[in-house]
Chains A and B, each alone.
Chain A
Amino acid sequence: MITAGIDIGSLSTEALIMQDGRILSYAIAKTGPKVKTVVKEVLDETLHMASLSSGGIDYVVATGYGRVALDIADRTVTEITCHATGAYHLFPETRLVIDIGGQDSKVIQLDSRGKVVDFVMNDKCAAGTGRFLEVMADALDLGIAEIGPLSLRSRKKVPISSTCTVFAESEVISLIAEGCERRDILRGLHEAIANRIIGMASKLMWTGQVTMTGGVAKNTAIAHILRKKIPLPLNIPEEPQIVGALGAALVAQKAVATI
């Protein structure tokens, strides 16, 4: 059986094709304003990589904030369930999933069977999300991939007190004007995000292993700080950005099996 999982986030869209529990192909693209076009492109790319046609897919599950806009999906499932399913599939000892996406961050509690028992999400603002980091990278005139490694070279932390993205950006600009090193400012920013995530995670039980998913898991500085602050093994998948789509494809596999 062949299934597809499509994760339409605010910043990026991922598609993944799976056959009998095995990943055949996946692709990632920026979401942008034309959601349906991007979904088609990313799905076509995945199909091409798997040497399949669209008729060859038995079941499609859509997830992410754009899930409701997708008319080709057989079912929509939240990113909470999908990230949990994907993370548990990759690391079965996972009991906490930290997903930092483009516009929200969430911490999900799983039981020993991989079932979601509780979750906490950020509310109402983009503080502590991928978008926050993008804005800060821009303010520091750096690429998003550069900020993690540069932050790890910091020797002195410069605390950032604002959690609001707009105010934090102003604070960063002021710190640059004061002559602070970019790497030290970045360390402060990463610490602020990590503390926010830990605050959310504190509402849940700390047990088993932790798996980070979502684009921000690629940021080595965040992972480094979380590893220091959470006394549990922290897993980072090879491609953390596709875990939601992976979970969606797995949910689809289960759905087909029960039809």
Chain B
Amino acid sequence: MLDLNKIVSELVRKSLHSDSILSLTAQIGRHLLYRNDRLSFKIWIGHLFAILRDSMLKKKAVVWTSIFIPSELIYAMGCVPFHAEVFALVAAYLNVGPEMIHAGEQEGYSSDLCSCYRCAAGLGSGSFFPVPDLIISSSHLCDGSTAFFRNMAKYYGVPHLLVDVPYGNDKNAEDYVSRQIKDIILQAEEVLSFKFDIDKLRDVLTISNETRKYYERFNRLREHVPAPFPGSRALTYVSGMMFISMGTHEGYSFSKALCREVEADIANSRPAIPDEKHRILWLHQVKPYYKNSIFTDLKDRGAVIAAEEITYIYWSPYDLRCPIEALAGRMMENINLGPIERRLNAVRDMVSRYKIDGIIHFSQWGCRQSSGGAYILRRSFIEEGIPFLVLHGDCADPANYAEGQTKTRIQAFLEILEST
């Protein structure tokens, strides 16, 4: 059992003389711990801090990684994964986004780049992040990711290993990705001086498969009307845990605790919002993490985010007989990779499963992946009678958030739902 208070106190103490984001995170974490007594929430905070602690104090080799590299690979290497994107959004949540984004732009990053990477660039080049021993990222989905990680590797003087994930999804493509993962393991062994244990990978994948089962159960529970779990929270910490903890005991405990809490909420008639009128599906990967009125405005008019794309379980259970190929398969199965029909079908599945009344597509500034498909999805669902709002915004940079305009769009969208 994690002694969270002890961890937080220790982190705060150790970061007192450090001008790092760790100090800020620890303080906010301590504040939040006393506000939320849910076990899942505490496990999330604990895991976040454990990563920060282990990486800042260099308890293990630190591998910076992008969110689309399965964390199981890094845990199986015995390293601590540091997801720069996740911690950039933590910084946005802590209100230091604008300052870090400005610092990132001063480093030469274009203001058209996704703010998540601009913020991470400010944090990384300002030495607010733990020093990496190695960087592993993938080429798929995020345009900004490859250049950002390459720049960071150059800045820290460490190797950058890239998994090039092709657009097509066939046997050849899967073999191509598997070969690269094997090659990355060989290179990591050399850089970090360790011997990769394939059985350890199997153990990690076994935990991940069990965790996946709980997430599937969590998603089934969320089909309940009224919605038992608010999407605003899922977008904050459930999605975060799906990126940073798959393959760990903490990730498993988190998913199990989450299911138990939601089951109890359903049994005790504790819905996510008091008077549910509209069930919303939130599309794309992120939401604004700084102070904004979107979720309050939705809640005030009886609209609940019943489900979101980012917590959709798109991947199959790992086949333990061929673990490397299974990791490659997981990357290739992402619904945002390949033709738009793949994503469209997955969204249709979500609309049906969660009895969705309307869809909000949060189009992240600078993200071609999200903006590219939005209007195709929009047209399809409007033709099917599902109101669809393309909401342009920014996850980390409040400069791209206009409250008045956003309120009008949200309210008009809800007026459409109310008149249905």
Report chain B residues within 8 Å CB of A91. none
Report chain A residues within 8 Å CB of B400. 124
Report chain A residues within 8 Å CB of B172. none
Verify B412–A116 contact, CB threshold 8 A.
Answer: yes
B299 at the interface (CB under 8 A from A): no
Interface string of A87-121 (1 = CB under 8 A from B): 00000000000000000100000000001111101
Q: How far apart are the CA atoms of A115 and B404 in the complex, in Å?
A: 23
A14 at the interface (CB under 8 A from B): no
Q: How far apart are the CA atoms of A253 and B114 in the complex, in Å?
A: 46
Q: A65-B404, A68-B407, A123-B392 are in contact. Are A117 and B382 (CB under 8 A)?
A: yes
Contact among B392, B404, B405, B419 with A116 in the assembled complex (CB-CB below 8 Å)? B419
Report chain B residues within 8 Å CB of A121. 405, 408-409
Q: How far apart are the CA atoms of A116 and B415 in the complex, in Å?
A: 8
Q: Is the interface of B mostly helix, strand, loop or mixed?
A: helix
Interface string of B152-194 (1 = CB under 8 A from A): 0000000000000000000000000000000000000000000
Report chain B residues within 8 Å CB of A65. 404, 408
A81 at the interface (CB under 8 A from B): yes
B28 at the interface (CB under 8 A from A): no
Contact among A78, A124, A203 with B412 in the assembled complex (CB-CB below 8 Å)? A78
Report chain A residues within 8 Å CB of B378. 203
A77 at the interface (CB under 8 A from B): yes
Q: How far apart are the CA atoms of A250 and B158 in the complex, in Å?
A: 66
B402 at the interface (CB under 8 A from A): yes
Interface size class of A (residues with CB under 8 A): 10 to 19
B411 at the interface (CB under 8 A from A): yes
Verify A78–B405 contact, CB threshold 8 A.
Answer: no
A17 at the interface (CB under 8 A from B): no
Verify A81–B415 contact, CB threshold 8 A.
Answer: yes
B residues 135-164 near A (Cβ < 8 Å) are none
Interface string of A58-94 (1 = CB under 8 A from B): 0000000100100000001111110000000000000
Closest approach, in angstroms, between the C-beta of B400 and any C-beta of chain A?
Answer: 8
Closest to A203 in B: B375
Closest to B418 in A: A81
A residues 32-81 near B (Cβ < 8 Å) are 65, 68, 76-81
Verify B405–A104 contact, CB threshold 8 A.
Answer: yes
Q: How far apart are the CA atoms of A207 and B382 in the complex, in Å?
A: 15
A residues 157-210 near B (Cβ < 8 Å) are 203
Report chain B residues within 8 Å CB of A79. 408
Q: How far apart are the CA atoms of A79 and B405 in the complex, in Å?
A: 11
Interface string of B310-323 (1 = CB under 8 A from A): 00000000000000
B416 at the interface (CB under 8 A from A): yes
B residues 372-420 near A (Cβ < 8 Å) are 375, 378-379, 382, 387-388, 392, 400, 402, 404-405, 407-409, 411-412, 415-416, 419
Closest to A121 in B: B409
Q: How far apart are the CA atoms of A116 and B413 in the complex, in Å?
A: 9
Report chain B residues within 8 Å CB of A203. 375, 378-379
Q: A117-B382, A118-B387 are in contact. Are A80 and B415 (CB under 8 A)?
A: yes
Q: How far apart are the CA atoms of A116 and B400 in the complex, in Å?
A: 27
Which of B378, B405, B409, B415 counts the most A-chain CB atoms under 10 A from its CB? Answer: B415
Contact among A80, A117, A118, A124 with B408 in the assembled complex (CB-CB below 8 Å)? A80
Report chain B residues within 8 Å CB of A77. 415
Which of A77, A104, A121, A123 counts the most B-chain CB atoms under 10 A from its CB? Answer: A123
Verify A78–B382 contact, CB threshold 8 A.
Answer: no
Report chain B residues within 8 Å CB of A124. 392, 400, 402, 405
Q: A116-B419, A117-B416, A118-B387 are in contact. Are A78 and B408 (CB under 8 A)?
A: yes
Q: How far apart are the CA atoms of A80 and B408 in the complex, in Å?
A: 8
Q: How far apart are the CA atoms of A80 and B407 in the complex, in Å?
A: 12
Verify B408–A115 contact, CB threshold 8 A.
Answer: no
Verify B416–A116 contact, CB threshold 8 A.
Answer: yes
Report chain A residues within 8 Å CB of B412. 78, 80-81, 116, 119
Q: How far apart are the CA atoms of A113 and B405 in the complex, in Å?
A: 27
Report chain A residues within 8 Å CB of B419. 81, 115-116
Report chain B residues within 8 Å CB of A78. 408, 411-412, 415
Report chain B residues within 8 Å CB of A80. 408, 412, 415
Report chain A residues within 8 Å CB of B405. 104, 121, 123-124
Interface string of B97-109 (1 = CB under 8 A from A): 0000000000000
Report chain A residues within 8 Å CB of B388. 118
Closest to B401 in A: A124
Q: How far apart are the CA atoms of A81 and B414 in the complex, in Å?
A: 10
Q: How far apart are the CA atoms of A124 and B402 in the complex, in Å?
A: 7
Closest to B407 in A: A68
A-B contact pairs, 21 of them (CB 8 A): A65-B404, A68-B407, A78-B411, A79-B408, A81-B412, A104-B405, A116-B412, A116-B416, A117-B382, A117-B387, A117-B416, A118-B387, A118-B388, A118-B416, A121-B408, A123-B392, A124-B392, A124-B402, A124-B405, A203-B375, A203-B379
In order of increasing CB-CB distance, the 5 nearest A-B pairs are: A80-B412, A78-B412, A81-B415, A78-B411, A115-B419
Binding site for A on B (CB under 8 A): 375, 378-379, 382, 387-388, 392, 400, 402, 404-405, 407-409, 411-412, 415-416, 419
